[in-house]
Structure 1
Amino acid sequence: MNRPVFLSSEDVETTCPYCGVGCGMTVSPKIPSTKSDSFEVKVKGSSAHRANYGKLCVKGSSAGETVDFSGRMLHPQINGNIVDWETALNDVAKTFQKTISEYGPDSVAFYVSGQFLTEDYYVANKLIKGFIGTANIDTNSRLCMASAVVGYKRAFGSDTVPCCYEDLEHADLITLVGSNTAWAHPIIYQRIAAAKKKNPKLKIVVVDPRKTATCDIADLHLAIKPGMDAALFNGLLAYLYQQNALDLDYIQKHTEGFESALQKADELQGNVSDLATQCDLNETDLRQWLDWATYTPKMVTMYSQGINQSSSGVDKSNAIINCHLATGRIGKEGMGPFSVTGQPNAMGGREVGGLANQLAAHMDFNDPQNIDRVARFWQAENMAQQNGLKAVDLFQAVGEGKIKAIWIMNTNPVVSMPDADNVKRALEKCDYVVVQDCMQDTDTTRVANVLLPATTWGETDGAVTNSDRTISIQRQFMQGPENARPDWWILSEVAKRMGWEHAFNYDTAVDIFREHAQLSGFENNGSRDFDISAFANISEQEYANLKPTQWPVNAAAPNGTQRMFSDGRFYTPSKKAQFIAITPYSPLSQPTKNKPYVLNTGRVRDQWHTMTRTAKTAKLMAHKNEPYITLHPDDASLHQLSEGDLVRVSNELGQLIGRVEISRAQRRGDIFVPIHWTSQYASHGRVDSLVRAHVDPLSGQPESKHTTVKIKRYSAQWQGFILSRTEIDPELFDDDYWVKITGKHFYRYEIASERALKNAQAWAKTVLSSLENTEWIEYDDASCQQYRAALIKNDQLQKVFFMAADHKMPSRDWLGQLFSTSELSSAERRSLLAGKASGAKDPGRTICSCFGIGINTIIDAIEAQNLVSVEAIGQALKAGTNCGSCVPELTEILAVELNSGVSEKTG
């Protein structure tokens, strides 16, 4: 059984598999009436879930389109050979036992994922820390929120997010720092946008070097110099003091260390003019934000990767928290420092101790009583006694041969780790690499000795915790591939074979969740923040029906806890929050003559992590379908680059090739590149191969937002594209530039080469490889360096190839539509090599993915119908009326058209 089988036709309430917003979903499976019928999964937002109240972004609303088994790992494999589960599990268990016996427990490691369910995370942490006896387990969450964790712990004595999403509706000032919320957390953005409409007093400020889509709703954009966030919030702390805006009573009763923090801030940041110079900000704009932040009690500061992914991310976090403590703006409605996470269960991983420097249930190795407590609860005789290796150090240890065996689960470090090529080399040298994943072909599975097929979203039950501490359940609604197994099951079976059956004898996910809840309350008595002991005896039916609930959930708060620290008591020894004196530091990589540009990385609107799920659906590939490099116009002019040209970005670590995007939203000297592309989807698209392994010394989080590089035009001798009903082996493109894009009923390849193509026809026939009974039609104009060819079989288009001297070729949209037709019409045949239907207009690049609406269609409607609002565009075209993710871009397009009155259409 290797096609989806649904458990029932009934609707299922579940949770989104993407970002840390944690949106609720209602899934409606359609059970096929016959084996030949296609399956269908409809997804809509759950109106009852407090994270989203019925809203979903384009990724979430498209999740039902990704549940087919294409590309799935279908069998356990050892050294490329298919084996049964018994053989695979025994191999893993025996090899880990042998390695530990010869080299000690620190010679092995786990690397896990914020996409793990809590139960999976719990079992992995228990196995390696409690029974193998090492804390060498880290997670890709190290890459997104480790600095926020340490910042909270330094200030509060615990990793506690004090806010809830409802605070966004109650705030009068929301400052978004280092977060393109509109693209990275779209539902949070939509909640803020809705709150602003209801509350005219609400001010929104975006602190970000780039003018992103989030600025659409901003009253003020502070285009801060990269890396200067700690200086900015130190400056705010000093300004609050100068304006007599401190809550001295709160400071005296509930905090410690204020004097030293203020002294450092006052000493370093000086006056507003000096601060503006340090941060490279307009002084008037800076003063406006300082005044708003001083005189607006209901203030939420929301921060994400722009703060965390820094060599001083912890200090930046604490600089923000300092300002909230100094004004008592914490634990109250509409107030607080709010870190938002990037992954669906990064918070759940923090709860179970998924990081190398954590124990379970928000305990740490720094207290021997914690180690003893967890060991007694687990009845673990081989309990780890100290922190393990954080992610960057862990893979360095792999490369040095100190770690002999590593088990990687549900993540793709060969793409996502900094200095990614070095990570790949380390794994290639490692004695034993186990990769547990749902997908067969990833950059990381390619370097594995053993592959273990795991179930994924929709195929298993388990808990996740979102950014505001809300625990929700991802519920199973379909059977996974026949040989795929839940992650917790795989881990437990290996543990049993290593001799610990008594500790890992779980039958279902609820058995694990129950134990997790029991540990959270074990010898707690209010001493630890994470406490879900109300679920300590949860039944299977209660677990199945569990509604979204914010922790702590215990005898004192049986229905959960909306906000933390409302009573002014914290989890430090003194029960007082701690101010941290902050000395701002510049990023470790600074521009030089040879590497003059600062590379910033981030997400795009419609893709997720390394694209293993989102790239399966044409809808999500339509918006941004190639790796791109955003440059300021002055930098583009300096290198004589135009929109759509190819450019090579490089440093001593690696290189990336992508399309030029020119935007005044970018600072001069800075470039932006998305994180998502892998070796499965692009020849030179892995941006983390350029990112240096510089980390925050406290959190170990890499500085992914600030790497120095040089840029150079990619001197393409020719460019082209292929649309094909079947996949093409990228090795046929040699080492030239290529990008693979999923279309509807076809695959698209954008290609280019720095080598001249002497015989386009011969190249095309080699790559496209004619099939039997195939009609080959072509157009060749060597003088203009143009060649076009198409393969047709039984009047159905199979493949098409267009090449030219540059990228200015017909739109791919009309040609792509022909793959959905069962038979080409005579008119379509005549227009085939023209690349468009006679008289048809090019819709332009896709803006609204939900309805496939292009920019030129939108501009034409604005002009023809005199549209003056985003709502009017929605009524005319439907654009922006479903998930709302494209609303910021619609707003920008509308503003340009209304201001200029001149269309600037793009192909």
Structure 2
Amino acid sequence: MIPSDPWGVRTPYAPGQPWPARVDRHTVEEPERWVQTASLLHSNGDGIDIGVRGNRIVGVRGRESDRVNRGRLDPKDVHGWQANASPDRLTRPLVRRDGKLVETGWDDAMSRIVRRSSELKPLEIGFYTSGQLFLEDYYTLAVIGKAGLGTPHMDGNTRLCTATSAAALKASFGTDGQPGSYTDVDHCDTIALWGHNVAETQAVLWMRMLDRRRGSSPPAMLAVDPRETPVAREADVHLPIRPGTNLALMNGLLRILLRRGWVDRSYITAHTQGIDDLERVVDAYPVARVAEICDLPPAGIERAAELLGGAKRLLSTVLQGFYQSHQATASAVAVNNLHLLRGMIGRPGAGVLQMNGQPTAENTRETGADGDLPGFRNWDNPSHVRDLAALWNVDMATIPHWAPPTHAMQIWRYAEQGSIRMLWISGTNPAVSLPDLARVRRILSRPDLFVVVQDIFPTATTEFADVVLPAATWGEKTGTFTNADRTVHLSEKAVEPPGEARADLDIFLDYAARMDFRDNAGAPLVTWHDAESAYAAWQRCSAGRPCDYTGITYDKLRGGSGLQWGGERLYTDGVFNTRSGYCETYGQELSTGAERPASEHSGDGRAFLLATDYRPAPEVPGAEYPMRLVTGRTVWQFHTRTKTGRVPELDRHAPSVWVELHESDAGALRIADGDVVRIESPRGAIEAPARLCGIRPGTVFVPFHYAEQAANELTRTTWDPVSKQPMFKLAAVRVRKAGS
């Protein structure tokens, strides 16, 4: 249970009306000035003003004019800024001497990194970044990796939370980029949340949904989640699905819509291709079969189909319950199929949001810091690679495009095998966030792996570093970032960073200068020197691509609301980014991830309807490990608590790990509420107090935020074949009372 209401008072409104403003504010002293920014502790993108007194942040307030939040703040927005002043900030570089990390100067630290980089071949260097840096940081890093070093080994922890979003959008629509908009909440008559606990992951978006639900003509709501989350309790229909069976449910729902004529045949004919194959696949999923696979009541499946089929304006949101589960991309694509079959794309209230888990995940994908080519370009299209080579004035052969970019899980495998010998980790804590943590610790401990960690605090990961670089954070540097509905915000520098900490952009620029990366003319490869000039370079790179930033300037972003690239909604004319010369991918086989060659691509501006059969998950409960573990989040913490764990107001609500059990499971195991239980998987074990709740029987939930008794001691190194996103929600476990 959530100990208090983090969503504040309701401001009900009717369909078609603008969302009323509600300005949230929290200060500890009266600010002397206010500085513009947006949230960096969740992916909603709330517009915020930072209150400053002297060189101290003393509070925040929501930006009333901002299109995303209309003045509201998430609990982490309200309190998270206090972590900036935590006394254990990293303020000087650290290097490993005689087995211990000791303070040093920037010249020594950077010289060590440059020396090691120069000793290695490009294919021996990897970068693992975050979804919490700024666009300007990512683009600079992408240029360094792709045009400076020429390494394909670049990805981020966005692979853990948002890779399936990108993969599903590319598969259905030709390129990345959310079709929908947060303002679709204002117009819809039905909201479907597919594995998306929006109440705790994007609290302000949930406020918007609740306000519509409390107004006249409220939208109906469907929730698909094995847990009884706040969203499930609010929904008109809750399907507590068996983990790992999302695709079977989606196939069954699509079958009902097609059989009952709840589809837009004229839209399907004019704007999609693949309907015959889709109908053939889903025809094998009658309600009775789906109910058995998903362990759901047939009446609940029927009622969900009625909500979806009767909607005039359907909004779908998708997140980790689909992305981190079995057949992730195929399941997320099936949500796209639903909207295409119903013609629910590109108009107010009718849209799909394949959500992001981190605040700047969209920027990693746009700029190529996730390994893709910048500007949603196709690594397998020679003309796209040639355009980049001309833009950067480098040889085309320098840019890695001979194979798909190296995804994060493969980067870690290469480090394990010894072919990657230097790994630069920026703004993330993989020693807590990656699956199968015992394996991750073994990799980071390899004596032949040179580990650079760039962060703001000591973490479980910095303990393994050869060099630690102290970074500036939100409020201490300038840059832009883009949320899940393509809204770009400017975050201005409000205060100086502590000690010798540097902005991430300045660190990357220093590295580029010391490495002396040059273009074909002998000029410096990286020509920008600050955030605004880096942004201008990105504008040139994005010109003419779907994520075109050329019309969004720093000046336009100052003083008002964030701005969306691509307009409020994409595909309003029913023309999609699937043409062979424009698309970001030629497609992948949904069940295997096999890349399709250009010769087999049939893109012509119509969206793709893609379907595949459900298959059982790779690890299922059995006699030895009879229960299913799912991991997730709480509204009070963010990722591995690097910041939120240092804020008393947030930490007291969720200071340590717990495990959720159904009362029937607890009774059979003689476990009472609050008892410490031991959870074991084939990979490890943790102990945590039990919370008895409405989770589905046979399922165990553990939040993943905590380094002590970390949920990822239990999870397995398995990933979706298309998006390469790890399956955090598929571990088989056993549970008993600790000490018994």
TM-score, normalised relative to structure 2: 0.89
By how many angstroms is 1:545 displaced? 5.0
Distance across 2 between alignment mates of 1:177 and 1:388: 28
Aligned CA distance change for structure 1 residues 545 and 436 (closer, same or farther; 3 Å): farther
**1:508 and 2:538 matched:** no
Q: 1:293 aligns with which of 293, 308, 311?
A: 308
2:133 maps to 116
Take 2:106 and 2:268, find their aligned partners in 1: how far apart are those partners? 59
Whether 1:564 and 2:549 are equivalent positions in the alignment is no
Structure 1 residues 695 and 40: CA distance shift in structure 2, 3 A: closer
Instruction: State the distance in 2 between where 1:541 and 1:262 align.
Output: 50
Shift of the 69–618 alpha-carbon distance from structure 1 to 2, 3 Å rule, reads: closer
Matching residue's letter, 2:164: S
CA contact (8 A) 2:288 2:298 kept: yes
Q: 1:138 to 1:586 in 2, by over 3 A?
A: same
8 Å CA contact 1:257–1:579 kept in 2: the answer is yes
2:700 alignment partner, one of 667, 671, 683: 671
1:26 is aligned, of 49, 60, 73, to 49
**Residue 583, structure 1, aligned to residue 616, structure 2:** no
Aligned to 1:106: 123
Q: Is 1:54 paired with 2:79?
A: no
State the AA in 2 paired with 1:675.
F
The C-alpha deviation readout for 1:118-146, integer Å capped at 9, x for no partner, is 11111111101111011100100000011
Q: Does 1:699 align with 2:723?
A: yes
Q: How does 1:414-453 map to 2 (within 5 A)?
A: 414-453=431-470
CA distance 1:488–1:292, change in 2 (3 Å): same
Aligned residue for 1:373?
A: 387
Counterpart check, 1:520 vs 2:581: no
Would you say 1:633 and 2:663 are equivalent positions? yes
* Contact 1:647–1:713 under 8 Å retained in 2: yes
Q: How many angstroms does 1:157 deviate by?
A: 0.4
Residue 714 (str. 1) matches residue 738 (str. 2): yes
Q: C-alpha offsets along residues 795-841 of structure 1, whole Å, 9 cap, x if unaligned?
A: xxxxxxxxxxxxxxxxxxxxxxxxxxxxxxxxxxxxxxxxxxxxxxx
- Deviation of the 1:69 alpha carbon: 3.9
User: Which range moves more in the overlay, 125-134 or 223-232?
Assistant: 223-232
Q: Secondary structure at the match of 2:280?
A: helix
For residue 82 of structure 1, the aligned residue among 103, 107, 115 is: 103
CA separation in 2, counterparts of 1:21 and 1:117? 15
Q: How big is the shift at 1:544?
A: 5.0
Offset of 1:542 from its aligned partner? Answer: 5.4
Aligned equivalents of 2:259, 2:57: Cα separation in 1? 61
Give the equivalent residue in structure 1 for 2:274.
257
State the alpha-carbon separation in 1 of the partners of residues 565 and 71 from structure 2. 22
* Preserved contact between residue 208 and residue 221 of structure 1 (Cα < 8 Å): yes
Q: Is the 8 A contact 2:128 2:155 kept in 1?
A: yes
Task: Give a deviation string over 1:191-249, Cα, whole Å, max 9, x none.
Answer: 00101112334101111111111123211211111122212221122111211122111
Which amino acid in structure 1 is aligned with residue 338 of structure 2?
C
Letter in structure 1 aligned against 2:512: A
Matches within 5 A, 1:237-386: 237-266=254-283, 268-270=284-286, 272-356=287-371, 358-381=372-395, 382-386=398-402
What is the DSSP-based 3-state SS (H/G/I as helix, E as strand, rest coil) of the residue aligned with 2:614? coil
Match of 2:232 among 190, 193, 215: 215
The 1-side partners of 2:44 and 2:206 are apart by 10
Tell me which of 469, 490, 497 is aligned to 1:480.
497
Letter in 1 for 2:296: L
Per-residue deviation, 1:92: 0.8
User: CA 1:608–1:482 in structure 2 vs 1: closer, same or farther (change >3 Å)?
Assistant: same
Q: What residue in structure 1 maps to residue 647 of structure 2? A: 617
Correspondence 1:116-135 to 2 at 5 A: 116-135=133-152
Q: CA deviation digits over 1:80-132, x for unaligned, max 9? A: 232211121121112111112xxxx1111000000011111111111011110
1:153 counterpart = 2:177: no
Give 2:180's aligned amino acid. Answer: C
Q: Is the 8 A contact 1:15 1:475 kept in 2?
A: no
- The one-letter code of the counterpart of 1:70 is P
| Aligned twin of 2:635 | 605
Q: For residue 460 of structure 1, what is the aligned residue in structure 2?
A: 477
Structure 2 unaligned residues grouped into runs of 5+: 1-28, 519-523, 580-603
The correspondence for 1:411, drawn from 410, 424, 428, is: 428
Aligned to 1:206, the other structure's residue is in SS state: strand
SS at match of 1:288: helix
Contact kept in structure 2, 1:648 and 1:657, CA below 8 Å: yes
Report deviation, 1:385. 2.4
Deviation by residue 1:8-61 (Cα, 9 ceiling, x = unmatched)? 9311121011111000112212338xxxxxx55111211111111011121111
Q: Is the 8 A contact 1:116 1:410 kept in 2?
A: yes
3-state SS of 1:533 partner: coil
State the one-letter code of the partner of 2:638: W
Q: Is 2:514 the partner of 1:497?
A: yes
In 2, Cα distance between the equivalents of 1:195 and 1:254? Answer: 31
- Say if 1:18 and 1:53 are closer, same or farther in 2 by CA, change over 3 A: same
Measure the CA separation in 2 of the matches of 1:54 and 1:217.
24
CA distance in 2, matches of 1:275, 1:311: 16
Deviation at 1:582, TM superposition (A): 2.1
Mapped contact 1:76–1:453 kept (Cα < 8 A): yes
> Residues 239-275 of structure 1: CA distance to partner in whole angstroms, max 9, x if unpaired?
1121112211111111111111111101x202x3333
Inter-CA distance 430–517: structure 2 relative to 1 (3 Å threshold)? farther
Rounded to whole Å, the distance in 2 between the matches of 1:273 and 1:94 is 63
| Structure 2 counterpart of 1:713, one-letter code | K
Q: How many angstroms does 1:550 deviate by?
A: 0.5
Q: Does the Cα contact within 8 Å between 1:405 and 1:430 map onto a contact in 2? A: no
Instruction: Work out which of the two has the higher radius of gyration on C-alpha atoms and give 1 or 2.
Output: 1
Counterparts of 2:703 and 2:280, CA distance in 1 = 39
**Pair 182,435 (structure 1): closer, same or farther in 2 beyond 3 Å:** same
- Contact kept in structure 2, 1:629 and 1:661, CA below 8 Å: yes
Counterpart of 2:564 in structure 1 is 550
Alpha-carbon distance in structure 2 between the residues aligned to 1:712 and 1:129: 50
- One-letter amino acid matched to 2:685: Q
Question: Does structure 2 conserve the Cα–Cα contact (< 8 Å) formed by 1:463 and 1:474?
Answer: yes
Structure 1 segments unaligned to the other structure (5+ residues): 1-5, 33-38, 553-560, 717-907
Q: Specify whether residues 546 and 373 from structure 1 end up closer, same or farther in structure 2 by C-alpha distance, changes over 3 A only.
A: farther
Which residue identity is paired with 1:298? R
- Cross-structure match for 1:95: 116
Q: Is the 8 A contact 1:330 1:565 kept in 2?
A: yes
Compute the RMSD of aligned alpha carbons: 1.7
Question: Secondary structure, in 3 states, of the residue corresponding to 1:67?
Answer: helix
2:678 aligned residue: 648
Comparing 617-626 and 690-699, the one that deviates more: 617-626
Q: Secondary structure, in 3 states, of the residue corresponding to 1:11?
A: strand
Deviations 1:669-690 (A, max 9, x none): 1100001011xxx3xx111121
Distance 2:499 2:702 in 1: 39
* SS of residue paired to 1:204: strand
SS of residue paired to 1:408: strand
Give the superposition deviation at 1:67. 2.0
1:432 CA drift (Å): 4.2
State the alpha-carbon separation in 2 of the partners of residues 199 and 174 from structure 1. 15
Please give the alpha-carbon distance, in whole angstroms, between the structure 2 residues aligned to 1:213 and 1:438: 33
